[in-house]
Amino acid sequence: MQHTRQPCRNEVITRRAGLEACMPCPGIRSGWRDQAEMDLVGGLSSGASLKTRWVIPIIGAFFVSSLTACVSVGGLYSAPGDTGRPAEEWLLRQRAEHEQRAMEEQGLIYEDEQLEHYLTQLARSLQPPEVRKGTSFRVKVIKNTSADALSFPNGALYITTGMLARLENEAQLAILLAHEMTHCNNEHALRALRYCRETVSAGSKLYGPGRGGQVPGALQWGTSPPALEAYLEELELDADRGALQLVLRAGFDATEGLKLIECQQRDLDKEDLEEASRSALHRHLEKRRESWRMLLDRWTQSEPRRLADRETYVAQVHRVILDNALLDERRGRFSLAEREVENYLAVRPNDESAYYLLGEICRQRGLLSDRSKAKKCYAKAISIRPYYADPYRGMGLLYYKEGEKTQARMSFQAYLSHAPAAPDKAYIEKYLTTCN
Amino acid sequence: MRKLLIVCLLGAVSCAATNRAGGLYEDSSRSFSIMIPQGWERVNIEKYLLITRDGPFSHYILVQDFNVDKKFNHTYKRFHRDMLPQETSEVIIDEISSDRAISSFQLCENVPITINTYDGFRLVFTYNTADGTGHKTLYYGFLIDDIFYSIRYNTCNGYNDQRDVASFQEVLNSFKVLHARAM
């Protein structure tokens, strides 16, 4: 969508032959995948997350297709059996259902019924009774290490594993959910669609000279039409205002909203973003932080009734934190993974798999200073579960590289005795030959 | 006249894009040499050496040298100079399996192997690309000082030609590291 230049012959070969799929050749198509993935995810994104970088692309991708259909239909019409419903709303719901089905078919959903139940109940507890009957909210989790959240006009809310892993307590989670729910309650998707529609029909006001009436291919913070960015930013601020009211009414500590935004600002620098987008997002988050601070000044809150402690929250989401740490470790985001595992261990101090994962993170990071920590973690994992094979392997690799052949041999032998059909048996046997 | 011009232009373009080049391959921009099997042609792609006999959409052999300090496309993991072949193979697996452009990645084999005196690894894996094409790849890799070398043979959509076994073996056996160069 974003890159419209014609590919050269070699690029065509590269793509069609599936070469880029396994190329250690940076830059072939960085950015395309992310865009495509988020197009797939669709929906109206959270302004309360790093996801903000996708607010505009998603709205662009999500609404533009609907918009095209609307324009071709020409005005409002009723869906079959659904008399009187405006065309945009009907199209949005259709589109939302399509996107949600696609996510499920792609296997992007993190399957955990208990977690979904907890999140959905929390969301519903935020919704005041007079509004509750309007939209039935339900929350699902997406397997993705980015800190994102999305909402669809039909009340479906999605949070990524990365976001859940980075939240500090239930109050922050409540604020995030309330923000997304406000997008639905205030029909932001519909408003944004109508805004796009009106602006398109008004010609070049939105898209600038020479692009009047054209549907934008892709929109991104920092590179999108300023008028559209400003409009969407106003929707985000509106979602924050709505979120504040919901969490205050539910008795959560609203000051956690500031910490949430500040955490996103800090994490922004760790994300792979173009400089223009990063700067624009920093400005956007700063504006939201300032707005949240002013709202807090205006609204006096009595003593929060609901706890904001980390332990309560982590007790509910501990498994997803560890699973996300594993995803981060596989992607080589070692600092994030390390932080997540340590947070997890703070409330689950006897989980051997977490110690093993921490050991793996330290070993793979490849720093000399990490080696002793890695060994301690492996040793701790073994002390909790002596027949746990994998930590012996990690330990053996460290000793082997240090030239400690005797200890390496003992570790490798222990590994193979506990996992005689290990997939890397051939490597281990080769190391053992050298050690002997 | 116009038809002749078009034919000439097409001829020129195809000549520029590929080189019939059986025999020794050495290039000042690369730190390795290989023997290109007879009947195989080289496709000019700057970042790596790609040779094929029946076209890259059916099969190809790809050879690449890659500096350890370079970033990957999909994983944030990096090579380290003291990595064991097993560790480098795991980085490659993470790089490939993190690629969102492919699906159904399946690792069939990961074993240590010696590639013309160099200690390395061999991977066998399959995957699909977005257009539905199925791929199967034999991936050989090893690390020497600052450079990671990979030699892979890839087939698309079940392409199968027994001649390729001997051709790929010829490439493997002829592979030589020429010099460490700053890449």
- Residue-level pLDDT at B72: 92
**What does the longest C-alpha to C-alpha distance in chain B come to?**
63
Q: Which domains does chain B have, with CATH numbers?
A: 2-177 (3.40.1000.10)
Which range among A212-221, A274-283, B31-40 has the greatest average pLDDT?
Answer: B31-40
Interchain contact, B94 vs A330, CB within 8 Å: yes
ipTM of the complex: 0.83
Query: Is residue B78 less than 8 Å (CB to CB) from chain A?
Result: yes
Region for A157 from its dihedrals, namely left if φ exceeds 0, alpha if ψ lies in -120 to 50, beta otherwise: beta
| Mean pLDDT to the nearest integer, B85-101 | 91
| DSSP, res A51 | G
User: Alpha-carbon distance B17 to B40, whole Å?
Assistant: 14
Nearest CA in chain B to A145: B98
Please name the member of A29, A330, A397 whose beta carbon is closest to the beta carbon of B84. A397
Interchain contact, B95 vs A427, CB within 8 Å: no
Residue B51 reports pLDDT greater than 60: yes
User: Alpha-carbon distance A182 to A190, whole Å?
Assistant: 13
Residue B44 reports pLDDT greater than 80: no
Confidence label for A54 from pLDDT (cuts 50, 70 and 90) = very low
Q: What is the per-residue DSSP string for A356-379?
A: HHHHHHHHHHT-GGGHHHHHHHHH
Q: Is the pTM of this model over 0.80?
A: no
Q: Which of B47, B127, B138, B148 to mutate to test the interface with A (most CBs of A within 10 A)?
A: B47
SS3 at position A249: helix
Confidence label for A133 from pLDDT (cuts 50, 70 and 90) = low
Both structure tokens of B166: 């001997």
Both structure tokens of A54: 């996708």
Angstroms from A38 CA to nearest CA on chain B: 11
Please name the member of A10, A331, A430 whose beta carbon is closest to the beta carbon of B75. A331
Interchain contact, A18 vs B129, CB within 8 Å: yes
Task: Give the contacts of B147 (CB within 8 A, at least 6 positions apart).
Answer: B31, B65, B66, B67, B68, B177, B180, B181, B183
Q: Indicate the range of A215-229, A272-286, B16-30 predicted with least confidence.
A: A215-229
Interface of A with B (CB under 8 A): 9-10, 13-14, 16-30, 32-34, 36-37, 330-334, 364, 366, 397, 400-401, 423-424, 426-427, 430
Q: Indicate the range of A72-81, A370-379, B19-28, B82-91 predicted with least confidence.
A: A72-81
Interchain contact, B45 vs A14, CB within 8 Å: yes
Please name the member of A10, A332, A430 whose beta carbon is closest to the beta carbon of B112. A430
Of A85, A297, A58, residue with least CA distance to A189:
A58
Please name the member of B70, B75, B129 whose beta carbon is closest to the beta carbon of A21. B129
Query: Is residue B142 less than 8 Å (CB to CB) from chain A?
Result: no
Residue A21 reports pLDDT greater than 80: no
pLDDT one-digit tens code per residue, A415-435? 999 999 999 999 999 999 999
Amino acid at A275: E
* Sheet of strand B18-20: strand arrangement: B18-20, B41-45, B48-52, B59-67, B147-156, B134-144, B118-129, B102-115
